[in-house]
Amino acid sequence: MHPLWANIMRMAKLIFLVHLLLFIFIFFGFGCKTEAQEIHNGQERTQAFEELVDQVKSREERSKAFEELVAQVEAEAEAEAKIRAEIEARARAEEEARKEMLAEEEARLHQEEVAEAEQDPEPNQDDPDEAEQDPEPNQDDPDEAEPNQEEAPDAEQEPEPNQEEIAEAEQNSDPNQEEAPDAEQESEQNPHTGPQVVTGNINQLSGLEISDSVQNGRPLAIMVQNAPGARPQSGLIHADIVFETVVEYGITRFLALYSSYDAEIIGPVRSARTYYAELARSFHSIYTFWGTYHQAYSIIGSMQMDIFDAHSRLHVPYTSAGWRDHSRSSTFWHTAFINTFGIKEDSKSIGYALEGGQSLMQFKVDADETQRGDINDITVNFSSKPYQARFSYDMDTNQYLRFMAGEPHVDHETGQQIQLNNVVVLVTDITGPINHIGHMNVRTTGSHEQGKAYYFIDGQAIPGTWARESIFDPFEFADQNGNPILFNRGATWICLVHSTDRLSF
């Protein structure tokens, strides 16, 4: 072969080999690169997947933590609710136990007094309850010669006490009698024929002339205990008006109203009752008490009156004027006391007015000695001997001395016996017990046709009526002819009983 062609052939082989090698290099190099890229991409995907798995695990952990937190919160809320329920149950149990203890103690005191009265071998002939059991009554005394009969179940069929005296008093109270021997005798029989009404600058509850010592402030009405262990009480001698009627188990309680005078110590102060609040409302007074039962708070709160609770801040405005004096009694609820000064200060702070009040009472000067009557012994038997009130008339002073359970009713601080210028007995509806605790209900409103009354003034017994349209209205006191009663100036004691058989004079 020609050398030239041989060289060309070698050159062609060389070029072919070069191209072959280049092809192999390019092919295998791209494949390696692609594989490496795929490996790299696979690693990235694996890493991304792992990150996604981590995120899912993180979310699961957060979800689990959240669930645990929710469960913890729910458990804490359940535990808190359980604790709250236990506290409320304990508080209810303590309140019920306190009420039961109070009721049992008052019932025990009442039963002890009743048992003592029943076991007394020598009955007091001045006591109508014991005089009834006297086998040999004093024939010179009409009250003992004709002892009171047993109480009839129907109040409408109960006989009225001392019918001859009441009939005589009713006849003497009629100014339209056809035969009146002379003006002097008529004035003696009826002290309200002729006396002029006292007007001017006088106190609305006592009729006393306003002076440096006699005020005319808005009445303060305060609940006072009368269980035997609470006697003698403090501050009743400074009250213008005192209401008395029954609460539980025949126990009586007082509502003392202060306007003419202040009192440094009043008490023992006791819990409110709704009908006592209604009595306080009639004078537009500031009603103060030491606690009450739960239902009473809402009822009293609806009476649109200014009130203070000296026991608790939970339900109504609180007064800090009260305190405990455990030296007065070993019985806890006979240790609460208060004064008018602190009530007035708290009234200023809370915005209660210290001026005002309402009353329809009218007053006169005391009857001349020649015009005074001789009805000198008035007995109100509220329930049993420990709660029997007696008023003894002193013609010389023209005042009534108060006795309680046969003993002089005195003031704790001064030892002075309570003296009154007027004694009033209002007959009304008293029902109960109305619940298991023994609470009673006393009607404090009604018409003159519904309300019978007896007014003891100047030694006279004046039969009449009382009326009050609503709890927001003042009392109307009238004789049988509808004329307003003229009270003597000074202190008045008002008893509420369910029938006339509770009264004797």
Q: Which residue has the tokens 């009354």?
A: 453
Q: Of the candidates 224, 240, 444, 419, which has an alpha carbon nearest to the alpha carbon of residue 337? A: 224
Q: Is the pLDDT of residue 422 over 70?
A: yes
Report the 10 Å Cβ neighbour count for 246.
Answer: 21
Cα distances (Å, whole numbers) of residue 435 to 100, 298, 315, 464? 13, 17, 22, 33
Residue 311 has pLDDT above 90, yes or no: yes
Mean pLDDT score of the chain, rounded to an integer? Answer: 82
- Taking only the tens place, the pLDDT of each residue in 93-140 is 766 666 666 565 555 545 544 444 443 333 333 333 333 333 333 333
- The tens digit of pLDDT for each residue in 185-204 reads 333 344 445 678 999 999 99
Instruction: Give the amino acid at 267.
Output: G
Q: How confident is the model at residue 386 (pLDDT cuts 50, 70, 90)?
A: very high
Nearest partner of 455 among 476, 429, 436, judged by Cα: 476
CA distances from residue 87 to 81, 82, 90, 91, 93 in whole angstroms, order as listed: 10, 9, 5, 6, 10
pLDDT band at 373 (very low <50, low <70, confident <90, very high): very high
Task: Give the residues across from 266 on adjacent strands.
Answer: 338
Higher pLDDT, 220 or 76: 220
